[in-house]
Structure 1
Amino acid sequence: MALWRVRATVDDRPGYLSVLTASLALRSVNILAVQVHTTEEGAVDDFLVDAPDALTESDLMAAVAKGRGRDAFVARAEAQGLADQPTRSLALAGRLVHEPDLLGESLVALLDATDVRWRPASASDVAGFHGGRMTLIDPAGGCLEVLRALPAFTPAEFARAQALVEVAASVHRLHREQVSLLLPDGTELVLRPAVADDLAAVREMHDECSPATLRRRYPGGVPGEARLRRLLEPARGITLLAVAPGGSVTAMATLSVEGDLGEVTLLVEDGWQRRGLGTALLRRLHGHAARTGLAAVVAHTAGDDVAMLRTLRRLGAETFERDGALVSATLPVADRAPAT
């Protein structure tokens, strides 16, 4: 028996796929995996099959034609094709998380492409595909041209490739937004966006904070694990972490967004307070608000939190409104970039 890849287009009507599979079965062809791609021309059925050694490419093409298939493509397949498409895609995405520069190689593996070529971007570049050529915007800059002689790319394959590009783009953004911070005493920390995997380290930081520090940050009570997980990756905002050389989280600052207004919150572990860490985190969140087109940023803090109020004034807060023991400070975002 031999492995083959068989692709053919059939009318997208009930029963047409079964006619094609029956025609293959009459030749003792065992279908190991199948994917169906919906296109304007019909349903593109992509099979991985195990066929008798005596069958040739011409025999398989004839079986496809007899099964009402058209635009057939038949080629020998490798054993790695036995991995189902979702597993294959997830494995490639996981690889990109650790090595985003391998996007080109990952696209070749995902699409069974013959080549991926990089070129500088131009104003007319738009992601899309036609026949055996696919254009993708490289998150690191430029464009990627993915080439394959046969078969032609389908909308489903383009969507998978775009998803893989988004994974690489997210990792590039994370690396780009990561900066080093040198404190006055010479300690070097890393400021970076939070991710879901930071949950345990952030929970540990909360455990190290004093009750007074937690009460100032969470007047309504310290959040449980589910809410803390949502704080790490807010739907329309960002959470930044300060990470010490040993990997422990020493502070977190969150920008939550509603409309064109943002709200910032800050928690700094007791042993790291009054060292410029909170100011650095809030300044970066303020910059993020400007880049994303927010009109203003609001911070709520206890009226007796002198250090936080001083920090907010240093960052340009102009309006302070007291409501009982709580003070709300507004930081305008004057030179904001257009929202995208």
Structure 2
Amino acid sequence: MALWRIRATVDDRPGYLSVLTASLALKAVNILAVQVHTTEGGAVDDFLVDAPDSMAENDLLAAIAKGRGRNAFVSRAQAQGLADQPTLALALAGRLVHDPDTLGEVLINLLDAAEVRWRPSPDRPGFEDARMLLADPAGGSFEVVRPRPAFTPAEFARAQALVKLAGSLLAQQDETATLLMPDGAEVLVRPATPEDLEDVRRLHERSSADTLRLRYLGGGRPADARLARMLTPATGRTLVAVAGDEVIAMANLLAEGDLGEVAILVEDKWQRRGIGTAMLRRLMTYAERGPFAALIAHIAVDNVAMLRSVRRLGAGQIDRDGSMLTFTLPMRPHRSADDEAPATFK
């Protein structure tokens, strides 16, 4: 017996798939796996089959035609083809987690493509029969080429999901950095995780009452439940700065509608050393990739260090309301590839 890959289009009507499978069964072809891709032209059925060694490509094509299949594609398959698409996609996602820069190779494996070409222009994502365009999260775009079989909407959606994963991983890498202080101390800035809760609680305990007042605008130390929500916001980002085994600063970007509110807490003995500014800049980079129309910061009038830090981000607007200042910095317009309909090629 020999492994073959078969792809054919059938009318998306009750019973038509069974006609095709019955035609294959009459030739002693055993179906090992099947996927169904919904398209405008009908249901595209993708089979992995085990056929008698005596069968040739023309024999399989004849059986497909007799089973009312059309636009047929047949090719020999390898044993690794026995892995179903969800398993393959998860394995490739795991590979991206370890190395986001392998996105091009991952797309070749996912789509069984002949070639992936990188293009410097950020082309609009989309696909046609033999070509697919995908955004490169690092800049530019990927052109995926596969002469046959034709790409389907399901394959485009899978590829887009892996592109989005690679983009998230690269963004996390961008937000991680080691800062070298003038005295030689090293401070690691990275995205926060739920496991940081205890260290962030200790950061608040070590911070003076005045530092907490400036951060929370008169409020005291937040309860643990609120701190936990701040570490992993549903929309936004939280960074922590770590020196040795202690969290010595926390910077938050929290969503308020289409606005992103930023705030920073830096332990007293680590203040005025550029840590807050470095964290703010990384939050701004994150915000520019997201759905935010502007960044805002609510600042006590006597919080000179925070006011200096936000002014370094750009020429924003500052409004005063009593003892509080509000800094607003518009973000550059940004549209995610997820917000766009696939391009139609002519």
Q: TM-score range by the shorter chain?
A: 0.7 to 0.9
Match of 1:203 in 2: 197
Structure 2: which amino acid aligns with 1:190? Answer: L
* Residues 215-253 of structure 1: per-residue CA shift (max 9 Å, x gap): 8467474233xx656534434322222234x57643221
What is the alpha-carbon distance in structure 1 between the residues aligned to residue 208 and residue 82 of structure 2? 52
Deviation at 1:281, TM superposition (A): 2.8
* Structure 2 counterparts to residues 25-104 of structure 1, below 5 A: 25-104=25-104
Pair 319,290 (structure 1): closer, same or farther in 2 beyond 3 Å: farther
* Structure 2 counterparts to residues 143-162 of structure 1, below 5 A: 143-162=141-160
* Residues 16-64 of structure 1: per-residue CA shift (max 9 Å, x gap): 1122122222222222211111111100000111222222222221221
Identity score, percent: 58
What is the alpha-carbon distance in structure 2 between the residues aligned to residue 23 and residue 296 of structure 1? 62
Deviation at 1:71, TM superposition (A): 0.8
**TM-score between both structures, scaled by the size of structure 1:** 0.80
* Structure 2 counterparts to residues 252-271 of structure 1, below 5 A: 252-268=250-266
> Does residue 188 of structure 2 align to residue 190 of structure 1?
yes
Match of 1:310 in 2: 304
What is the alpha-carbon distance in structure 2 between the residues aligned to residue 116 and residue 247 of structure 1? 43
* Structure 2 counterparts to residues 1-340 of structure 1, below 5 A: 1-121=1-121, 125-192=123-190, 194=191, 198-200=193-195, 202-209=196-203, 211=205, 213=207, 216=212, 219=220, 221-224=222-225, 230-244=229-243, 249-268=247-266, 272=270, 275-282=273-280, 284-285=282-283, 294-295=293-294, 297-299=296-298, 309-315=303-309, 328-333=324-329, 336-338=331-333, 340=335
8 Å contact kept, 1:103–1:165: yes
8 Å contact kept, 1:296–1:330: no
Deviation at 1:80, TM superposition (A): 0.9
* Residues 65-109 of structure 1: per-residue CA shift (max 9 Å, x gap): 121111111111111111111111121122112212211111110
What is the alpha-carbon distance in structure 1 between the residues aligned to residue 24 and residue 81 of structure 2? 19
- Alignment root-mean-square deviation, CA: 3.2
Pair 205,13 (structure 1): closer, same or farther in 2 beyond 3 Å: same
Pair 283,29 (structure 1): closer, same or farther in 2 beyond 3 Å: closer
Choose 66-75 or 170-179, whichever is displaced more: 170-179
8 Å contact kept, 2:113–2:145: yes
8 Å contact kept, 1:298–1:328: no
Point out which structure has higher relative CO (alpha carbons under 8 A, 6+ apart): 2
Structure 2: which amino acid aligns with 1:130? Answer: E
Deviation at 1:269, TM superposition (A): 5.2
What is the alpha-carbon distance in structure 1 between the residues aligned to residue 256 and residue 176 of structure 2? 25
What is the alpha-carbon distance in structure 2 between the residues aligned to residue 121 and residue 290 of structure 1? 19
Q: Could you list the runs of 5+ residues in structure 2 that have no partner in the other structure?
A: 312-316, 336-346
* Residues 280-305 of structure 1: per-residue CA shift (max 9 Å, x gap): 4346546766887655523377x9xx
Choose 103-112 or 282-291, whichever is displaced more: 282-291
Deviation at 1:128, TM superposition (A): 1.5
8 Å contact kept, 1:34–1:47: yes
8 Å contact kept, 2:201–2:224: no
Pair 229,136 (structure 1): closer, same or farther in 2 beyond 3 Å: farther
3-state DSSP of counterpart to 1:209: helix
Deviation at 1:161, TM superposition (A): 1.3
3-state DSSP of counterpart to 2:163: helix
Structure 1: which amino acid aligns with 2:189? Answer: L
8 Å contact kept, 2:299–2:306: no
Structure 1: which amino acid aligns with 2:21? Answer: T
Structure 2: which amino acid aligns with 1:7? Answer: R
What is the alpha-carbon distance in structure 2 between the residues aligned to residue 136 and residue 181 of structure 1? 34
8 Å contact kept, 1:199–1:228: no
What is the alpha-carbon distance in structure 2 between the residues aligned to residue 290 and residue 69 of structure 1? 48
